Structure formats: structure tokens, C-alpha cells
Amino acid sequence: MTIKVENIRIRYIVGDFRNKGITDYILKKLKGEQVSRAKEFWAVDGVSFELYKGDFLGIIGNNGAGKSTLLKAISGVMPPTQGSVTVNGNIAALLELGTGFDGDLTVRENTFLRGALMGYTREFMKETYDDIIAFAELEDFQDMSFMQLSSGMKARLGFSIACLVRPEILILDEVLSVGDGEFREKSEKRMAEIIADGAITLFVSHSLGQVRKLCNKVLWLEKGKQKAFGATAEVCDMYEQAMKKKKKGA
């Protein structure tokens, strides 16, 4: 099981002609005017690394450093604009679990839909549906429409469905645990099991403490660029020093 990321770059397009529309576009073309080109920006700009069986990678960096986008490229949701990602092994990405549900559907319907999206089989969902609801502690809400749930409940449901995966390669966007109090503990425990079962884990975090505790390798991104990749202690120390300097400077 390996992951090989080779010099990948991912480009977003912002404030584009989409806002102006096709009529405007055609009019400008007819008049021979320059069609205003969309602004581009590289969310991930030249990142390379390799991971092997047993690796636990922490990805650190400020907001907007391209961490989530990088995870999306590795999980295959967003193919990179340039460069290549090679993944050997089955992979599951748990990203922003509480979102992407359909407000009009009931909790039950959403659970099945999400399960199907996660790639679970019909039989598996039928068997585990009750367990999912029990784990999320939503027994009394099964036939309510999803938008009536509180945001905590939504996150709990998202987590409960997602935590049934048993991938070899696990991608996490700060979802080591959700909810509060008892559920927090429960979900943390479940996540630890999934991680223990898998071979490679990639994990975005804002908590250096967590990264130092869990990871053996760290990737540090800044504005899409790769600042450092290497052993945890080394990269974390570098990062901390850089942050201190920045604070002093400011």
C-alpha cells in the first residue's frame, strides 16, 4: 500500500465570467471585445511526497493553505490540474461529514442515501441501519425531515454513517471526533479503531499537539506551496518557530 504524490498543482477559478452569463459572453465576442479572463489561483502549488504502509501523515498550515484541496485530490474527488497522484489500496475520505445531506428528505432516507454514496451495499445498510441510528442517538427522529435536526445531530449522523468504513487508506479532515460530552468520547474511540485497522492515514489538523501525538510524518503547506515534509518532530519544530517569528514580527 502506497501513496505517491508527484508535483501536483490544483487551480481554482474565481470571480469568473459565469457571473456575467452567456448573453454577455456572446455580445462581447460579437463586438470583438476581449472576454475578461477569469482569475485563477493555485490552491495547491507543487506538492510531492510518498507514503508507505504504517504511515500516519499530519497536514498542517494556516487556513487557505490548500490542505483540504490536497485531500480532495488524493481521494480522487478532484483530479489535479497538473501532476499525478497514484494510490495503491482502497481508500476512504471522511470530509465535512455533517454536510451534503438533503434537507427535504427524512433522517432515514438521508441515511440510506449517504450509505449508498459511501459505497455500502444495500444488504449492509439494511443490516446496520438500526445500529447507525442507535450510535447517532437519533432513534426518535428517524422520520423527521432532515432540516429539523440541530447541527449537532447532523454531525452525529454524518459521523455514525461514515465510521463504518474499513479502508486501507483513510483520509480525515479534522473529524477525529464530533459532538460533545459522551458522544465525543464515543466517536473518538470509534475513530481510533478505524485508524488502527487501516494501513495509511492522512489527517488535516490545526492542533499541533494532536499531530505530535498521532503522526509519524508531517506535511506543512503555506499558500498552496510545500514548506516541508518529513519526520514529525522536525517539521513541527520548524513550524512552531516560524509561527513565533511571525508573531514577533507582527
Partner 1 sequence: MKNLIADRWQKYNFLFEQLVARDFKQRYKRTYLGIVWSLLSPLLHLAVMVLVFVNFFGRTIPHFVVYVFIGLKVFTFFKEATTRGMSSLVANRNILTKIKAPKYLFLLSKNVASLLNFGLMLIILFAFVLIDGVPIHPRFILIVYPIFTLLLFNIGVGLILSALYVFFKDIGHLYEIFAMLVMWLSAVFYDISNFSETVQRLALINPIFTHIHFMRSVILYGVVPEWYVFAICAAYAAAMLALGAFFYKRYNYKFLYYM
The contact set with partner 1 (CB under 8 A) reads: 10-14, 16-19, 21-23, 25, 72, 75-79, 81, 93, 95-96, 99-100, 102, 104-105, 109, 112-113, 116-122, 125
Helix (H), strand (E), coil (C) string for 183-248? HHHHHHHHHHHHHHHCCEEEEECCCHHHHHHHCCEEEEEECCEEEEEEEHHHHHHHHHHHHHHHHH
The SS3 of residue 34 is: coil
Residues forming a β-bridge with 4: 50, 86
Closest to partner 1 by CB, 77 or 233: 77
Q: How far is CA 201 from CA 28, 63, 65, 173, in A?
A: 49, 21, 20, 11
Shortest Å distance, C-beta 14 to partner 1? 5
Shortest Å distance, C-beta 9 to partner 1? 12
Shortest Å distance, C-beta 63 to partner 1? 15
Q: Write the single-letter amino acid at 4.
A: K
Shortest Å distance, C-beta 13 to partner 1? 5
Shortest Å distance, C-beta 114 to partner 1? 8
The residue length of the chain stands at 250
d(CA 42, CA 204): 19
d(CA 149, CA 141): 8
Dihedral class, residue 89 (left if φ above 0, else alpha if ψ from -120 to 50, else beta): left
Closest to partner 1 by CB, 98 or 230: 98
Closest to partner 1 by CB, 28 or 212: 28
Closest to partner 1 by CB, 9 or 227: 9
Inter-residue contact 159 to 118 (CB < 8 Å) = no
Query: What's the Rg (C-alpha) of the chain?
Result: 21
Closest to partner 1 by CB, 104 or 185: 104
Shortest Å distance, C-beta 22 to partner 1? 4
Closest to partner 1 by CB, 99 or 151: 99
